[in-house]
Homo-oligomer: A and B are copies of this chain.
Amino acid sequence: MPSYKAPLREYKFLLNDVLDIGRYSNLPTFADAPLDLIESVLEEGGKFCEGVLAPLNKAGDEHGCTRHADGSVTTPPGFKDAYDQLVAAGWPALSSDPVYGGQGLPHIVALAWNEMVSSANMAFGMYPGLSHGAYEAIHHHGSDELKQKYLPKLVTGEWTGTMNLTEPHCGTDLGMLRTKAIPQSDGTYRISGQKIFISAGEHDLASNIIHLVLARIEGAPMGTKGISLFVVPKFLVNEDGSLGARNGVVCDKIEEKMGIHGNATCVLNYDDAVGYLCGIENKGLAAMFTMMNVARLGVGLQGLSQSEVAYQNAVIYAKDRLQGRSITGAKNPNGPADPIIVHPDIRRMLMDARAFNEGARAFAFWTAIQGDLLLVSPDDEVRQKADDYMGLMTPVLKSYLTDKGYANATNCQQVYGGHGYIEEWGMSQFVRDARITQIYEGANGIQALDLVGRKLGANAGRAIFAFFKEMDEFIEANDGDADLAPFVEGLRTTKAQMQDGAMWLMQNGMSNFDNAGAASHDFLNLFGITALTYMWALQAKAALAAKKNGGASDPYYDTKLATGRYFLARMTPDAGAHLAKLKSGAEPVMALAAEAF
């Protein structure tokens, strides 16, 4: 059975050496979370993920969820007990608002926790994960009454939450949605319609489920400007907080999916269900989108998480499996064969995953810090940059981390040879689970369009120019450093390629929007590679500094530097290919008439 080990050393290196979060100790939330506290929280969290969640992952895949005739859903064996332990230990509350019982830690702590949970058991992690989305929606947009009533138990995890957007005929294009909300004289609404693909839509883990539902108030305009957001609890909640009558929402079906079998993906039928408006009438879509950055960053992290756990297991197998001899001479001469980790092509697959994982994790953490600064910095300029960066990086994190996460999970499965294809070994599950991350929370093509169509040009390109400037400053500041030279050169190259691509888009995307659409995927990938090159430069600088400051005997730093050099040699060359493709423009992509297909 696959295993999992929390990458605690990586977290420590990132938070302390690379991001130096100590410098924020004068800010709220950070002030109460010194590094040693964060480390011990993550250490405990790691134990929980390794010891409680990871052992349930495979059984969750095998058993899946079961819907009963009455619409109730049973989660896989062990999930309920693990969820109870999760709630008892207070894990769902890590970064929530202390006003509602949260622990008020920086979001970056929750980010690390979420990575560990997803690596250990992604399908399980979606139950508390979706709750967090509902919490954010109510916390940002709900009335005080809604907050008082729903947030405390969403924070503890006694109740879970869901996000209800998709309908059978519309997913990406929510303007077409049909679910109706009829206003009642008491200020509530009655909701009717069908929602599909609702993760954690029904289950037996918590005593209530709080659905956040997009619907159209009777008489509201068609299209996206007539959509409102509602809170629809599975059980109505009495004034004293106790549970009342069952509301008119039932699980009609759970989907048979390629993966994440442990999470119930539901068709939910709403039939005159009581709902409460959350936020402003007809502004539901905007309310939903303010939460999207957090959710999408979380999905990017899921992509990384599957790459990480698949990598860890592939390493174990590659060291254990004896097959063939090294082409440079036997490395295990007394054994019947060498472990397959001696073979360069096995190394290539492992190093691809490793160099990606460490770069992607840095990218996610580096971005997430901006999310914290956006909330707590008193400095307008810092907050504006943080907001710009969150907007700009989110589609890249979501799409690049999930596409590569899937590719790496596939490569790590490949390391197992035929055994990788057998479910018994567990590698297939990582691939099948990773696959959804490219699709949900906005398919990756939508992310790419968001990047080039909205984020790139917003405020006359302020966000991306700030990012270019930051990289330029790094290059200039470190230009004479011989040890860092390969990283500075690598960054100079990919940054120039990315800038070239951005300029091409600015010059050609406006005259023909199809140029922007046709270039979007390649530009996003070019961005991802460049961002990871920058992350590797930051990590290399931190590792070199740590070596000078007493860390010379710790092999961790040399390993880090070697992994970074692999990234430069083997993963940055794709940047040039993406640039060439995007510059070829829309013509080759759109040449065929639809009938010619």
- Footprint of B on A, CB under 8 Å? 166, 169-173, 176, 196-197, 255-259, 315, 318-319, 322-324, 327-328, 336-337, 339, 341-351, 354, 406, 410, 413-414, 417-418, 420-424, 428, 431-432, 435-436, 438-440, 443-445, 448-449, 453, 512-514, 516-518, 520-521, 555, 559, 562-563, 565-566, 568-570, 573-574, 576-578, 580-581, 584, 586, 588-592, 594, 596-597
Q: Please state if A594 and B342 are interface contacts (CB–CB under 8 Å).
A: yes
Are A518 and B345 CB-contacts (below 8 A) given A418-B197, A420-B439?
Answer: yes
Q: Please state if A589 and B342 are interface contacts (CB–CB under 8 Å).
A: no
Contacts of A432 in B (CB 8 A): 258, 432
- Please name 23 pairs of A and B residues whose Cβ atoms are closer than 8 Å in the assembled complex, sorted by A: A166-B418, A171-B323, A172-B417, A173-B337, A176-B337, A255-B424, A258-B423, A259-B421, A319-B597, A327-B453, A327-B517, A328-B512, A344-B590, A345-B518, A351-B592, A414-B439, A421-B436, A565-B591, A566-B588, A566-B591, A574-B577, A576-B576, A577-B577
Number of copies: 2
Contacts of A424 in B (CB 8 A): 255-256
Q: Please state if A566 and B580 are interface contacts (CB–CB under 8 Å).
A: no
Q: Please state if B423 and A439 are interface contacts (CB–CB under 8 Å).
A: no
Q: Please state if A171 and B418 are interface contacts (CB–CB under 8 Å).
A: yes
Q: Please state if B255 and A589 are interface contacts (CB–CB under 8 Å).
A: no
Q: Please state if B597 and A315 are interface contacts (CB–CB under 8 Å).
A: yes
Q: Taking CB as reference atom, which chain B residue is nearest A168?
A: B419
Contacts of A555 in B (CB 8 A): 596
* The 9 residue pairs across chains A and B that have the minimum distance between CB atoms: A344-B517, A573-B580, A569-B584, A345-B445, A258-B428, A327-B513, A344-B518, A569-B588, A562-B591
Give the complex CA separation of A324 and B197 in angstroms. 19
Contacts of A445 in B (CB 8 A): 343, 345-346, 349, 414
Contacts of A350 in B (CB 8 A): 597
Contacts of A348 in B (CB 8 A): 518, 521, 589
Give the complex CA separation of A345 and B395 in angstroms. 15
A76 to chain B, nearest CB (A): 16
Contacts of A520 in B (CB 8 A): 344-345
Q: Which of B171, B344, B435, B586 contacts A514 (CB under 8 A)?
A: B344
Are A418 and B439 CB-contacts (below 8 A) given A577-B577, A591-B562, A596-B559?
Answer: yes
Contacts of A323 in B (CB 8 A): 170-173
Contacts of A337 in B (CB 8 A): 173, 176
A358 to chain B, nearest CB (A): 12
Chain B CB count within 10 A is highest, among A259, A315, A349, A580, for A580
Contacts of A414 in B (CB 8 A): 438-439, 443-445
Contacts of A512 in B (CB 8 A): 328
Q: Which of B410, B422, B514 contacts A328 (CB under 8 A)?
A: B514
Q: Please state if A421 and B257 are interface contacts (CB–CB under 8 Å).
A: yes
Q: Which of B339, B417, B439, B584 contacts A570 (CB under 8 A)?
A: B584
Contacts of A256 in B (CB 8 A): 422-424
Contacts of A342 in B (CB 8 A): 594
